[in-house]
Amino acid sequence: MERDDELSEFLRSRRARVTPAEAGLGPGAGVRRVPGLRREEVARLAGVNVDYYVRLERGRRINPSDSVLDAVARALRLNATERAHLFALVRPGSTRPARRSVPPQRVRPSVHRILDAHEPLPAMVLGRRMDVLAANRPARALYTDWEALPGPSRNMVRFLFTDPAARSVLVDWAGSATEAVAHLRLYQGRYPADPLLADLIRDLSATSEDFRDRWADHDVHQHTYGAKSFNHPVAGRFTLTYELLGVLDDADQFLTLYTAEPGSASEAAVRHLRTASISRVGSSRFPDPH
Q: Mind spelling out the 3-state secondary structure of 151-162?
A: HHHCEHHHHHHH
Positive or negative, the Cα torsion across 154, 135, 190, 221? positive
pLDDT tens for the chain, 290 residues: list them: 466 788 889 999 999 989 888 888 765 545 677 778 989 999 999 999 999 999 998 877 788 889 999 999 999 999 888 888 898 888 765 444 444 556 788 899 999 999 999 999 999 999 999 999 999 999 999 999 998 898 889 999 999 999 999 999 999 999 999 999 999 998 988 888 889 999 999 999 999 999 999 999 999 988 889 999 999 998 999 999 999 998 877 878 999 999 999 999 999 998 888 776 654 334 456 555 55
pTM, rounded to two decimals: 0.79
Q: H-helix or E-strand containing 201?
A: helix 195-207
Instruction: Give φ, ψ of 71 to 5 degrees.
Output: -65, -40
Q: Which of 88, 94, 89, 95 is nearest to 57 (CA)?
A: 89
Q: Which of 219, 157, 209 is nearest to 185 (CA)?
A: 219
Q: Could you tell me how many residues make up the chain? A: 290
